[in-house]
Amino acid sequence: MNIRIIKIISIFCLVVQFACCQNQDENKIQEILIATSVRNNFVSSDENADFIIGDKKYWVHYKVSYKNDTLNQFKKYLPEGPIEYSIEELRNDTAIYKSLKIPLRQNLQIYGDALYERSQKLDIELIKLDEKHFMEKNGKRVFVIKK
């Protein structure tokens, strides 16, 4: 009888651990956008990655994408169109991504309305724009999570 209870508890622990890992992966940062809120009638080019959430439009200045927690795409959006930086260019010119507070490697996650790095809560207040987008309260960074 005791072995049966131990097996049930073990299976339960595995299921809970699996569920926690799934939830953790969903809250990982997939992209960081540097964006400004603009009027809906603001005209932008088709090459830009502007987005609309609710009744607000956001003009994207930079778009950073991560794969396996490592920066794999960095784009700067200008009226003439996007400029894509290679990882080598960014490593040689660290000022551009450091001034924007963009890490080359990151382990950022969002729980509720708080930003965490390696399970340590950061002192950054977030505003939830929708299910996937969270913006810094006093900044221009928009964090996009997996959903």
pLDDT tens digits for 70-104?
A: 999 999 998 788 899 998 998 888 888 889 888 89
What pLDDT band is residue 25 in, cutting at 50, 70 and 90? Answer: low
Answer yes or no: is 5 within a domain: no
What pLDDT band is residue 10 in, cutting at 50, 70 and 90? Answer: low
SS3 30: strand
Let me know if 73 is exposed, middle or buried by CB neighbors in 10 A (0-12, 13-18, 19+): middle
Give the CA dihedral 75, 56, 101, 97, nearest 10 degrees: 20
Q: If you average pLDDT over residues 35-61, what whole number do you get?
A: 82
Answer yes or no: is 98 within a domain: yes
Answer yes or no: is 7 within a domain: no
What pLDDT band is residue 128 in, cutting at 50, 70 and 90? Answer: very high
Q: What is the pLDDT of residues 41-52, one digit of tens each?
A: 776 666 677 888
What's the mean per-residue pLDDT of the chain?
Answer: 83
Residue 144: the pLDDT is 93
Answer yes or no: is 2 within a domain: no
Q: Provide the terminal-to-terminal Cα distance of the chain, rounded to the nearest Å.
A: 42
Q: Which domain holds residue 67?
A: 28-145
| 119 vs 3, higher pLDDT | 119
Answer yes or no: is 23 within a domain: no
Structure tokens at 6: 């131990």
Q: Is the pTM of this model over 0.85?
A: no
Answer yes or no: is 121 within a domain: yes
Residue 62 has pLDDT above 90, yes or no: yes
Number of domains the chain is built from: 1
Residue 130: the pLDDT is 92
State the pairing for strand pair 141-145/29-38.
Answer: antiparallel
**What is the rounded CA–CA span in Å between residue 49 and residue 46?**
8
What is the DSSP secondary structure assignment for residue 86, as one 8-state letter? Answer: P
